[in-house]
Structure 1
Amino acid sequence: MEPAALALEMLDITKTFPGVQALDAVSFGCARGEVHALCGENGAGKSTLIKILGGVYRPDGGTIRLDGREVAFSHPIAARRAGVSIIHQELSLLPYRTVAENVFLGVEPTRFGILDRRTMNDQATGLLRRLGSSIAPDALAADLSIAHQQIVEIAKALAIDARILVMDEPTAALDRVDAGRLLDLVRKVSAEGVTIVYISHRMVEIQAVADRVTVLKDGRTVMTAPLAEAPTGRLVRAMVGRDLADFYPPRSSLPPGPPTLNVRGGANGQLHGVSFEVRAGEIVGVAGLEGSGKDALARALIGDEPFEVEAMEIGGRAAKPGHPRAAIQAGIGRLSDDRKREGLLMQQSVRDNATLIERAFAPAFRSPSAEPMSPQSTDKRLIQLDVRAASFDQEAQFLSGGNQQKVIIARWLARDPEIFIFCEPTRGVDVAAKAAIYKIMRDLARRGRAILMISSDLPEIIGVSDRILIMREGTLAGELPGGSTEEEVMAIAVAHDREPHAMAS
């Protein structure tokens, strides 16, 4: 492709932080109307490159061109004025402003120097309709679903006539249906001539939407190719430097043990007559569309929400956790689907985070002869899980998503619960970290622990689970063996008029 045809060129971009070469002569370019996927492990340099494009960082060397014209951004506002819009993984909408106010934030239409609210609402409605959405312009952003917030973010980019739109993990918090709708919007916007840089760890999405793909590794460009020349296997090898033939660890050939978790007739405002069991040594996946009840099930089991049951047993003992502390004491450990808000103290050290449960359940008074909690034992668990940090005194906020998940797992290993509830275990982590987390889960199962995995990632559900439970409208609508197809899972998840598939007793 001739350079003149490129809407965006980043040539030989270099950036160094104290002790770290973040980018080493990285080159990256996109044509007008192209969807260009940018891939790499956490720490590969993607975020630094995008922050340079967005005016957050200034490069130490290299050149940026938009439509052949050299530019240099000293501030995000300058990048935005030049037509560069970045939708971050953690959305930036103001929750208590209206949709229209968010769409035109900083570029509000005025009349005689006064905000022209009618024009703003009308123009916001036009932009949303252009995206095929009927979201009300006067709705509060806080009242919107994540999927609708993503649409508002795209409308916000269109409002400034963005020429370059960067989308960072845009489907990380979406279920399969909403993710599919968002990919349709990506194609629609690119067809209108907007250049899209699409950052994702999800290989299926990249294969579905990208025209070309660039892979970064250790701050260098290691591959740029048309999608037709970049099958998933090649992308994974480029990102991690090796094949991931064992991406999903093999299932155990041994039969599972006795039931560790047994629930009969579970119900609350979102769940109706839920009955299932998870046996020692097995991984049971829970799939379903957004609002199907799969997330509510996790919250009910851990005691975050009321849960009335006909009977519930953990390890053969009657249990009815009414709050999280009781659930933990009964033998349940949970990885939240939002590790930053619910799982970690981000400004505390790695070691402190790994000992939270251990310290919370330590006796209030210890005898002088009692062995104190050992930093050495904590560090040993972190090392065994291959938590990669500058030191275990480092704040958790500076770890990659995969390493943050491992810290939470290390915390629960100190407690050694009988059942682990993994909620969205690999959300926002790279392919190598995914493989590591799947191996940890399988190792726990081999040790006789029971694992309930609740996930919106269907390939993950199918590849990791020994059995798959499918939620629909607050009920368990069916069960399938691990390794079933996505079509089989979705047929149960959306079949409102079908008879429920037989559930295992």
Structure 2
Amino acid sequence: MATDVALEMTGINKIFPGVRALSSVDFDCRRGEVHAICGENGAGKSTLMNVLGGNYRPDAGEIRIDGKPVRFRHPQEARAAGIAVIHQELSLLPHRSVAENVFMGVEITRRGILDREGMRAKTEKILRRVGSAIDADAPVSGLSIASQQIVEIAKGLLLDARILVLDEPTAALDERDAGRLMDLIADLRAAGTAIVYISHRLREVMTLADRISVLKDGAKVWTRRRAEVDLGAIVTAMVGRDLRDFYPDTGAAAPGAAILSVQHGGNAALDGIDLEVRAGEIVGVGGLEDSGKAELARAITGDLPFVRGSVRVAGSATALTSPRASIAAGVGYLPSDRKGEGLAMNQSVRDNALLALHATQPLLSLPGRGRFAAKAIDPALRAGDVRAADFGQPISTLSGGNQQKVILCRWLAQNCRLLVFVEPTRGIDVAAKAAVYDEMRRFADAGNAILVVSSELPELIGISDRLLVMHQGRIAGELPCGATEEEVMHLSLGLGHLKQAEGSPA
């Protein structure tokens, strides 16, 4: 008997040593439907999709594809059944080309020889389908994290899957690229693809999803049609808190003296940069992916130094010519690629928190100094509410939110006056986001300053005391606390201030 249900998962259980990751979870997705899964980190979302994708075998339960029971022993068997899972964690080979990564494991050959031209042509076709101009021959190592995410998505689209799982697909994308992906998802849905959509960006969920399921502690809380719920109901089901509680109040006191001052700053990517970040302030930086906002963060942290203009930190003229010089000046950096640039994944929680101290205080790295190192950092980790059984365990075992807290503790222990955050809550759940926001506000209220770059406009608007918006390597304008998303986008597109534009003659 024909059915419109493409995927059914019934009574799925998965137990790891000491942890019940999934408890009798039921889930289904129909042809031509977007079914979103929401939940905190650790709720079981990724585990459920790893069961579907053949990475894990369920301890109990059944999976049916088009009504027929299946048991996948390997991811290749799931792919052969028409299932494509695009995971949040990138799995690209940095020194291979975009086309080689897209066709990894499914290479095209002719008479036993790789058909590089055929792979390049098909890769370009897929990239154009998602509205991307990425060069199929470019090495992945030279791409931004956003472009790498698009390549990961292209890998999934190559299969023409009947069931497509997207795990945080827009986490690294700005509003423009995310919008293009939304259009593509709408096209796939219209073509009959069953789409499972996992995202912490709940407004996307409310825009895209036909149905929404919430998982908590490995169990399903409920499944409802989108029209039956609002953002508040989703958040409450996930974490038991009201959505209004997630952004802290803006600074209570008037801003103090400038912690950072840049005048006429410029380099190959930036020009005419004039800005101040004052004590007690969180200053947001918005803009499209290619606006220069990431390059601004790199310039201030010495990774892509200014070659023109002047910089003052805490009133003193400073040459931020390298990351080490930036650290010495009291500037800390939380990069967008947390795992690739911010953490040593095979090292312990403690060692990761100590990275900056080891660089600036080499005596801590000497043999026999481990007890002193622990004494220097463990209180900061406890105060920062880093959830770990032992600070000696590998940081790879922690959730994304706890990993981000470790990086924050690293800079707090360094007594930095200015923190530069880039995508501070990428890939972490709403509860962890709230904890990071609270730490940011406490840091600023203590007389320090934060410059935060983010692609999430609600986040920028919610946490910033004022906003700078970038366009083509320049600051296109400044907006006060409480600015609207429309005002930010108007500046991002180079259209000037919205109110001025509205008042201009037609």
TM-score > 0.5, shorter chain as reference: yes
What is the CA distance between 1:127 and its match in structure 2? Answer: 5.2
Structure 2 length-normalised TM: 0.91
What are the Cα deviations for residues 261-292 of structure 1, in whole angstroms up to 9, with x where unaligned? 11111111111111111110011001111121
Counterpart of 1:245 in 2: which secondary structure? helix
Change (3 A) 1:66 1:380: same
1:197 aligned partner: 196
1:480 aligned partner: 479
What is the CA distance between 1:135 and its match in structure 2? Answer: 6.3
What are the Cα deviations for residues 176-226 of structure 1, in whole angstroms up to 9, with x where unaligned? 111111111111111111111111100111111111111111000012111
C-alpha distance in structure 1 between counterparts of 2:69 and 2:48, whole Å: 17
The question of 1:391 aligning with 2:390 is answered yes
Change (3 A) 1:271 1:127: closer
What is the CA distance between 1:140 and its match in structure 2? Answer: 5.6
Counterpart of 1:310 in 2: which secondary structure? strand
C-alpha distance in structure 2 between counterparts of 1:493 and 1:348, whole Å: 39
C-alpha distance in structure 1 between counterparts of 2:116 and 2:81, whole Å: 25
Q: Quick one: which amino acid aligns to residue 163 of structure 1? A: R
The question of 1:247 aligning with 2:246 is answered yes
What is the CA distance between 1:105 and its match in structure 2? Answer: 4.4
1:450 aligned partner: 449
Between 1:3-12 and 1:134-143, the stretch displaced more is 134-143
What is the CA distance between 1:438 and its match in structure 2? Answer: 0.4
Counterpart of 2:28 in 1: which secondary structure? strand
1:178 aligned partner: 177
Change (3 A) 1:196 1:298: same
The question of 1:39 aligning with 2:38 is answered yes
What is the CA distance between 1:391 and its match in structure 2? Answer: 1.5
What is the CA distance between 1:161 and its match in structure 2? Answer: 3.4
What are the Cα deviations for residues 342-362 of structure 1, in whole angstroms up to 9, with x where unaligned? 211111111121122223222
1:277 aligned partner: 276
Q: How does 1:257-268 map to 2 (within 5 A)?
A: 257-268=256-267
Q: Identity of aligned pairs, percent?
A: 57
Could you tell me whether the CA contact under 8 Å between 2:277 and 2:449 is conserved in 1?
yes
What is the CA distance between 1:92 and its match in structure 2? Answer: 3.4
The question of 1:235 aligning with 2:238 is answered no
What are the Cα deviations for residues 38-76 of structure 1, in whole angstroms up to 9, with x where unaligned? 111111111111111010110000000011100000000
Between 1:196-205 and 1:317-326, the stretch displaced more is 317-326
What are the Cα deviations for residues 126-159 of structure 1, in whole angstroms up to 9, with x where unaligned? 6556656676766665666655655554554444
Change (3 A) 1:500 1:417: farther
2:300 aligned partner: 301
Could you tell me whether the CA contact under 8 Å between 2:259 and 2:449 is conserved in 1?
yes
C-alpha distance in structure 1 between counterparts of 2:131 and 2:263, whole Å: 43
Counterpart of 2:345 in 1: which secondary structure? coil
Change (3 A) 1:488 1:17: same
2:74 aligned partner: 75
What is the CA distance between 1:321 and its match in structure 2? Answer: 1.7
Counterpart of 2:245 in 1: which secondary structure? coil
Could you tell me whether the CA contact under 8 Å between 2:467 and 2:481 is conserved in 1?
yes
Could you tell me whether the CA contact under 8 Å between 1:263 and 1:309 is conserved in 2?
no
Change (3 A) 1:458 1:62: same
What is the CA distance between 1:120 and its match in structure 2? Answer: 5.4
The question of 1:53 aligning with 2:16 is answered no
C-alpha distance in structure 1 between counterparts of 2:413 and 2:293, whole Å: 27
Change (3 A) 1:384 1:98: closer
2:333 aligned partner: 334
C-alpha distance in structure 2 between counterparts of 1:365 and 1:158, whole Å: 49
Counterpart of 2:244 in 1: which secondary structure? coil
The question of 1:360 aligning with 2:359 is answered yes
C-alpha distance in structure 2 between counterparts of 1:254 and 1:116, whole Å: 64
C-alpha distance in structure 2 between counterparts of 1:479 and 1:65, whole Å: 53
Q: Quick one: which amino acid aligns to residue 394 of structure 2? A: E
What are the Cα deviations for residues 279-323 of structure 1, in whole angstroms up to 9, with x where unaligned? 100110011111211111111111112313433211111211211
Change (3 A) 1:138 1:346: closer
Change (3 A) 1:400 1:271: same
What is the CA distance between 1:336 and its match in structure 2? Answer: 1.4
Counterpart of 2:285 in 1: which secondary structure? strand
Q: How does 1:53-452 map to 2 (within 5 A)?
A: 53-95=52-94, 101-108=100-107, 150=149, 153-362=152-361, 364=363, 373=372, 375-452=374-451
Between 1:98-107 and 1:265-274, the stretch displaced more is 98-107
Between 1:352-361 and 1:335-344, the stretch displaced more is 352-361
What are the Cα deviations for residues 59-113 of structure 1, in whole angstroms up to 9, with x where unaligned? 0000000111000000001111011111112333455555555555444555666
Q: Quick one: which amino acid aligns to residue 270 of structure 1? A: A
Could you tell me whether the CA contact under 8 Å between 2:346 and 2:395 is conserved in 1?
yes
Could you tell me whether the CA contact under 8 Å between 1:402 and 1:426 is conserved in 2?
yes
Change (3 A) 1:150 1:9: same
Change (3 A) 1:3 1:65: farther
Q: Quick one: which amino acid aligns to residue 263 of structure 1? A: V
What are the Cα deviations for residues 152-181 of structure 1, in whole angstroms up to 9, with x where unaligned? 545544443311111111111111111111
What is the CA distance between 1:390 and its match in structure 2? Answer: 2.0
RMSD of aligned Cα (Å): 2.8
C-alpha distance in structure 2 between counterparts of 1:473 and 1:109, whole Å: 39
Structure 1 length-normalised TM: 0.91
Change (3 A) 1:262 1:151: closer
C-alpha distance in structure 1 between counterparts of 2:8 and 2:222, whole Å: 16
Between 1:93-102 and 1:335-344, the stretch displaced more is 93-102
C-alpha distance in structure 2 between counterparts of 1:159 and 1:371, whole Å: 50
